């Protein structure tokens, strides 16, 4: 018994502070959030206990999911995530593939591509708000003006002010910022493949394409998955970039995180908490299978 | 192996110590202000007046405060950012945590309802009697500030007018429109807007959602009249009625004359379009006068200001005001501050610097600028109604719901009938 305590005790003591902190500030607060989302706490009076708030179970969730406006937000989130993911993966992979062969000035290119990541979303959002100005023809500025100068007038559009696809325009700066990061991941992946594998493939008479298809890509798939997960969960939590380009009240660029903010500022804590829980569940759907997989691989 | 383990233990202990220290550091600054004796020795005033003419106004007000109450120390709790939204977020958190400032800035009127319902602010109507404010504020204003049971929860420091249309006379003349013209109603005005629009000019500049709501409220006011407009907020006017439909049709037409990039602009950029001659008209509250004057524009020659067509004789008001939070650490300090806010000297000093007008009617108009003088005169004589976009007419949740519906409508995601029923739903809850 004493022996066991001596063995388990010290590590447990060491871990205790972080366990307690994480327990209270992460899991405890998630539980508190979930509890709030199950009540009818929709007004300031209820939030401070002046009026009673009662449990309504999943009514808030059902109402939210049934509301056209929240469906619009979810649709925006899906569109944004798909475009953001596809954009960063394609750009990041292309850049990594180009830099993978020893090129002159590789370091410079790498820095140039990575650099946008150093800029905060809020700062770049201010610039992109101007670039994505929706005025056209005589009043045009930003990218629309650029299109005019190079004679591509037909490409002018109202960017993020399109009611259905406006959110896609906001994915453009996001892609611009994070493609470099995906490139760095892929580049590390490429560098991690031993040269011998390529040599072996060449000796076996594999064409360049076959070598990529059957030798390099399988080696890269864990990297691709990590990149997908990292970009994917960033995308689901998108808030700052949208807030700095658009405004929280703008219908065309609403996503669940913005809804949560608006609910909270309306003293509607129950709905804000419900939106928060829905976001958490969506992110969990993306991340948990990945964690399970990594865990299994580590055990192997 | 042995060394290794000791090493690990040291590092882990250091980490634990670090965490503990961090926790202590976090807890250290929660208790300020609690241990002090005498509740009038200081006052923490929470505002979002952190820059520009607002800061100048606050400084002037503090100057008067220091003269009137030399024993009370003024603590500036101003929070910058987001036109007050950063301050409101922080305030919400502090009130929730029962750590209120001694007094905080809030829009007068219905926006206070949430704080009242949450029992976070005190009725200050006895202070109105004590400071003799009931007689010097216009009766209409006191009515608008009082709740149904006659309580008043804040003392206004300044008044702004929302129903003002600003115009660039040069743009109007260039397009054959008489800049002196006075429009009797929206129809007459929209005829000229149509002319401007056909000539390829941005007839009316507008900005992001809240400025569109601001435009909407002036349209409702113009088409419904003061009484029916006020009825929208107490339930006596039917949101689903044909009069509202007609007003929303006018609103739709007006939005058709506005700039395409509206959702990306805030009010300074929208007003700047009129200053620069890129747009003919802009509907904005009278704080816009500061933007014109800062750029040395002269009222009457470089720009004109008039009530929004159809709202002449009505003063669509909004006001900043100060409250007395429940559980304020220095209630006597807060009362001293409120006394200065309501006093003639305080209101004159503050408003001369900020560019708004005093809520008191006994201020000498001659001390103020040309535009302010016209506003002071209207405020004394016109019917006073409450602004929607600035928290006087409806609580925050209603305003947010109306803003969402308006944004949906102006981006083209809902039709007029859908918009109207969303507005009706927004005001019912």
Q: Can you give the pLDDT at residue B204?
A: 93
3-state secondary structure of A209: helix
Question: In chain A, which residues have their Cβ closer than 8 Å to the Cβ of B264?
Answer: 129, 132-134, 161, 245-246
- pLDDT at residue B27 in the model: 37
How far is residue A247 from each of residues A228, A240, B85, B86, B403, measured CA to CA in Å? 28, 10, 12, 14, 11
CB B261 within 8 A of CB A130: no
The Cα-based distances of B295 to B82, B289, B290, B292 in angstroms read: 23, 10, 9, 5
- % residues pLDDT > 70 (chain A): 99
- Give the distance from residue A222's alpha carbon to the nearest chain B alpha carbon, in angstroms: 32
- The Cα B218–Cα B221 span in angstroms is 5
Strands B202-205 and B279-283: parallel
**Is A22 at the interface with chain B, CB within 8 A?**
no
Dihedral sign for Cα B405, B406, B408, B412, please.
positive
Residue pair B356/B284 in contact (Cβ under 8 Å)? The answer is no
* Shortest Cα–Cα distance, B66 to chain A (Å): 35
- Asked whether A291 and A77 are in contact (CB, 8 A), the reply is no
Q: Is A129's Cβ below 8 Å from some Cβ in B?
A: yes
- What mean pLDDT do residues A152-162 have? 82
pLDDT band at residue B4 under the 50/70/90 scheme: low
Tokens of A104: 């002159």
Read out DSSP for B250-265? HHHHHHHTB-TTGGG-
Q: So what's the pLDDT on residue B361?
A: 87
pLDDT, tens digit, 9 for 90 and up, residues A112-138? 888 888 888 889 988 998 888 888 777
Q: What is the pLDDT of residues B10-51, one digit of tens each?
A: 555 555 555 444 444 433 333 344 444 457 788 999 998 887
pLDDT reading at A94 higher than 60 = yes
The pLDDT score that the predictor gives to residue A37 is 92
- Taking the CA of residue B83 and the nearest CA in chain A, the distance in Å comes to 12
pLDDT at site B170: 92
Per-residue pLDDT of A2-16, as tens digits, reads 788 788 888 888 888
- pLDDT of amino acid B89: 86
Least confident of A267-276, B259-268, B279-288: B259-268
Q: Residue B139 pLDDT > 50, yes or no?
A: yes
Backbone phi, psi, residue A120, to 5° = -75, 155
Q: What is residue B358's DSSP assignment?
A: -
Listed residue (B302, B279, B282) closest to B201, CA to CA: B279
Q: Which CATH number is associated with domain A72-127+161-299?
A: 1.10.3720.10
Predicted confidence at residue B21, as pLDDT, reads 47
Chain A residues in contact with B278 by the CB 8 A cut-off are 139
* pLDDT score of A161 more than 60: yes
CA separation for the pair B214, B227 (Å, rounded): 18
According to the model, what pLDDT value does residue B25 have?
41
Q: Which of A274-278, B67-71, B389-393 ranks highest by mean pLDDT? A: A274-278
Average pLDDT, chain B: 85
| From B23, B85, B413, residue closest to A251, measured CB to CB | B413
Give B85's contacts in chain A (Cβ within 8 Å): 265
Rounded-to-integer distance, Cα A106 and Cα A145, Å: 33
Cβ atoms within 10 Å, residue A181 = 19
> Is A247–B400 a contact, with Cβ atoms under 8 angstroms apart?
no
Q: List helix spans (H) across chain A.
A: 2-22, 29-37, 44-47, 59-66, 68-100, 106-114, 121-131, 142-149, 166-191, 195-203, 208-211, 217-236, 240-245, 256-265, 269-299
Q: Using the Cα atoms of residue B195, residue B199, residue B200 and residue B204 in order, give the sign of their dihedral.
A: negative
Q: Is A48 an 8 Å CB contact of chain B?
A: yes
The C-alpha atoms of residue B219 and residue B254 are separated, in whole angstroms, by: 9
Q: What is the DSSP letter of B208?
A: S
Averaged over B359-363, what is the pLDDT? 88
pLDDT tens digits for range A45-63: 887 777 788 888 888 999 9
What single-letter DSSP state applies at residue B295?
T
For chain A, domain boundaries: 72-127+161-299
pLDDT band at B128 (very low <50, low <70, confident <90, very high): confident
pLDDT at B8 (0 to 100): 56
For chain A, the average pLDDT equals 87
Q: Provide, as residue numbers in chain A, all residues whose Cβ is less than 8 Å from the Cβ of B115.
A: 44
| A228 close contact with B: CB closer than 8 A | no
- With a pLDDT cut of 90, the percent of chain A lying above it is 29
| Record: contact B412-A138, CB cut-off 8 A | no
ipTM above 0.85, yes or no: no
Burial letters B36-62, b for 16+ CB under 10 A, else e: eeebbebbbbbbbbbeebbbbbbebbb
**Token duo for residue A110:** 């790498």
Residue A14: list chain B partners with CB under 8 A. Answer: 12-13, 15-16
Find the mean pLDDT for residues B95-102.
88
The pairing of strands B279-283 and B154-161 is unpaired
Q: Tell me whether residue B260 is exposed, middle or buried, using C-beta atoms within 10 angstroms of its C-beta: 0 to 12, 13 to 18, 19 or more.
A: middle
Does B269 lie at the interface with A, CB-CB under 8 angstroms? no
Cα separation, A283 vs A285, in Å, equals 5
Q: What is the mean pLDDT of residues A194-209?
A: 86
A206 pLDDT tier (thresholds 50, 70, 90) = confident
Tell whether the model's pLDDT for residue B214 goes beyond 90. yes
> B248: how many CB neighbours lie within 10 A of its CB?
21
Mapped onto helix, strand or coil, the DSSP state of residue A204 is coil
Predicted local distance difference test score (pLDDT) of residue B28? 35
Q: Report which secondary-structure segment, H or E, holds B270.
A: helix B267-275
Q: What are phi and psi of B109, to 5 degrees?
A: 105, -145
With CA atoms as reference, report the closest residue to B88 among B47, B121, B29, B52.
B47
Q: Which residues of A159-178 are buried (b: 16+ CB within 10 A; e: fewer)?
A: bbbbbeebbbbbbbbbbbbb
Instruction: Check residue A130 and give its pLDDT.
Output: 87
Nearest to A266 among B200, B209, B396 (CB): B396
pLDDT in tens, B48-72: 888 778 888 899 999 999 999 888 8
Domains defined for chain B, CATH in brackets: 42-158+318-381 (3.40.190.10), 164-316+389-428 (3.40.190.10)
Instruction: Identify the pLDDT of residue B7.
Output: 57
Band the pLDDT of B178: cuts 50, 70, 90.
confident
């Amino acid at each position: 018994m004493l022996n066991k305590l001596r063995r388990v005790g010290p590590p447990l003591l060491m871990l205790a502070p972080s366990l307690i902190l994480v327990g209270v500030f992460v899991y405890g607060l998630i539980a508190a959030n979930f509890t709030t989302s199950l009540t009818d706490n929709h007004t300031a009076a209820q939030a401070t206990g002046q009026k009673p708030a009662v449990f309504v179970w999943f009514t808030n969730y059902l109402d939210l999911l049934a509301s056209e406006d929240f469906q619009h937000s979810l649709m925006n989130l899906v569109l944004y995530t798909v475009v953001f993911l596809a954009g960063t993966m394609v750009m990041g992979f292309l850049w990594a593939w180009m830099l993978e062969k020893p090129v002159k000035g590789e370091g410079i290119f790498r820095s140039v591509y990575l650099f946008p990541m150093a800029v905060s979303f809020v700062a770049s959002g201010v610039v992109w708000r101007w670039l994505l100005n929706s005025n056209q023809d005589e009043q045009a500025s930003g990218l629309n003006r650029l299109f005019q100068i190079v004679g591509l007038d037909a490409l002018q559009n109202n960017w993020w002010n399109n009611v259905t696809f406006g959110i896609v325009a906001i994915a453009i700066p996001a892609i611009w910022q994070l493609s470099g990061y995906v490139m760095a991941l892929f580049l590390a992946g490429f560098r991690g493949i031993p040269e011998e594998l390529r040599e072996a493939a060449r000796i076996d008479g594999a064409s360049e394409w076959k070598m990529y298809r059957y030798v390099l890509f399988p080696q890269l798939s864990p990297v691709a998955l990590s990149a997908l997960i990292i970009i994917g969960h960033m995308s689901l939590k998108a808030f700052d970039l949208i807030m700095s380009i658009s405004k929280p009240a703008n219908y065309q660029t609403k996503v669940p995180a913005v809804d949560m903010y608006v609910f909270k500022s309306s003293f509607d804590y129950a709905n804000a908490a419900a939106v928060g829980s829905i976001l958490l569940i969506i992110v969990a759907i993306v991340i948990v299978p990945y964690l399970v997989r990594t865990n299994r691989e580590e055990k192997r | 192996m042995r060394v290794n383990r000791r090493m690990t233990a040291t590092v882990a202990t250091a980490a634990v110590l670090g965490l503990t220290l961090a926790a202590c550091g976090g807890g250290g600054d929660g208790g300020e202000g609690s241990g002090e004796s005498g509740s009038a020795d200081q006052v923490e005033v929470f505002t979002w007046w952190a820059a520009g003419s607002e800061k100048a106004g606050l400084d002037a007000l503090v100057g008067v405060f220091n003269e009137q109450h030399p024993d009370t120390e003024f603590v500036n709790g101003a929070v910058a950012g987001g036109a007050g939204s950063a301050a409101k977020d922080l305030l919400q958190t502090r009130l929730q945590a029962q750590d209120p400032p001694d007094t905080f800035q809030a829009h007068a009127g219905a926006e206070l309802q949430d704080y009242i319902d949450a029992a976070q602010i005190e009725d200050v109507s006895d202070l109105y009697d004590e400071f003799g404010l009931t007689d010097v504020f216009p009766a209409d204003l006191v009515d608008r500030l009082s709740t149904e049971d006659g309580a008043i929860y804040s003392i206004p420091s300044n008044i702004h007018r929302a129903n003002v249309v600003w115009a660039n006379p040069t743009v109007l003349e260039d397009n054959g429109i008489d800049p002196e013209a006075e429009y009797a109603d929206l129809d007459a005005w929209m005829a000229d807007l149509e002319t401007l629009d056909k000539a390829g000019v941005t007839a009316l500049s507008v900005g992001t959602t809240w400025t569109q709501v601001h435009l909407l409220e002036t349209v409702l006011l113009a088409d419904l009249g003061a009484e029916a407009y006020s009825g929208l907020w107490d339930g006596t006017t039917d949101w689903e009625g044909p009069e509202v439909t007609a007003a929303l049709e006018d609103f739709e037409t007006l939005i058709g004359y506005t700039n395409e990039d509206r959702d990306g602009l805030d009010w300074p950029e929208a007003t700047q379009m009129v200053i620069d001659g890129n747009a003919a008209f802009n509907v904005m509250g009278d704080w816009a006068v500061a933007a014109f004057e800062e750029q040395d524009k002269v009222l009457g020659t470089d720009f004109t200001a008039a009530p929004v067509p159809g709202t002449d004789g009505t003063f669509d008001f909004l006001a900043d005001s100060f409250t007395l939070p429940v559980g304020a650490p220095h209630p006597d300090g807060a009362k001293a501050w409120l006394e200065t806010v309501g006093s003639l000297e305080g209101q004159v000093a503050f408003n001369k610097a900020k560019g708004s007008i005093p809520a008191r009617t006994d201020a000498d108009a001659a001390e103020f600028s040309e535009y302010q003088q016209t506003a002071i005169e209207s405020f004394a004589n016109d019917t006073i109604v409450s602004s929607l976009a600035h928290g006087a007419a409806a609580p925050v949740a209603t305003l947010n719901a109306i803003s969402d519906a308006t944004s949906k409508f102006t981006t083209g995601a809902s039709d007029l009938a859908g918009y109207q029923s969303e507005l009706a739903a927004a005001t019912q809850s």
